[in-house]
Amino acid sequence: MLDLWFDYKDLWLSGLKVTASLTLLAILLGFVLALPIGVARARNRGLSGVLAYGYVIFFRGMPLLVLLFLVYYGAGEFSRDLRSLGLWWFFRDAYYCGLLALVLNTAAYQAEIIRGSLNGIPSSIREANAALNLTRWTAFRRVLFPIAIARALPGLGNEFILLLKATSLLAIITIFDLMGQARFIFSETFDLRAYYVAALHYLVLVLVLEWLLRRIERRNAWAA
């Protein structure tokens, strides 16, 4: 199996780079999108609560593969409108379409994790905020948000790993991540070991990530 790795070293390394960049970008952008949705879900009042609930139901209810096709092939149908809006460069590119689908999907899952950790904060802390006369914004920024994030870390770490695995679906829309390179090398050589080499990559990536996340969690034990 090693020879197959060294024969196609450049391909594997570039695949690794694409997988890593997709995972990191998607988790970060997804977090930015998930934060307001998660807060709206935790408040669960008014129009924002309904919209946030609809978002979560919609994007968690469909398979990522379908969302991916919806964005990538669906956008092609509106190419004329997108061109006139000046957005075509974005939807023409499989990388951006894949990234968008990943972000929309992971934001729904991360929002639920954030909601859970916000709702889990004991009411005594909210009462202490009120007793200290903190404004709602200060209370959120200095007290509730740090606690919620520290509590959400195990869940978010899990989501990180699930997202890393999910990026492999993008190979179907011609992205050359690890999975895409494995498919390419398999089509060149008809050597099934290409998939095993890719599997080894994912295995190592996930094991390293799990180790890192455990270390980070230990530092945040105060929030539990």
Site residues (vs another protein, CB under 8 A): 57-58, 60-67, 69-70, 73-78, 161, 165-166, 168-169, 171-172, 179, 182, 192, 195-196, 198-199, 202-203, 205-207
Closest approach of another protein to the CB of residue 131, in Å: 29
Nearer to another protein, 39 or 194 (CB): 194
Helices assigned H by DSSP within 78-144? 79-85, 88-92, 94-119, 123-131, 136-138
Nearer to another protein, 65 or 216 (CB): 65
Is 30 in contact with 166 (CB distance < 8 Å)? no
Nearer to another protein, 76 or 146 (CB): 76
Closest approach of another protein to the CB of residue 206, in Å: 4
Closest approach of another protein to the CB of residue 119, in Å: 16
Element (H, E) at 28: helix 9-43
Is 1 in contact with 193 (CB distance < 8 Å)? yes
Closest approach of another protein to the CB of residue 81, in Å: 12
Gap between the Cα atoms of 217 and 222, Å rounded? 10
Which two tokens mark 80? 């004329």
Closest approach of another protein to the CB of residue 215, in Å: 18
Nearer to another protein, 72 or 95 (CB): 72
Nearer to another protein, 37 or 198 (CB): 198
Gap between the Cα atoms of 19 and 17, Å rounded? 6
Which two tokens mark 21? 């960049």
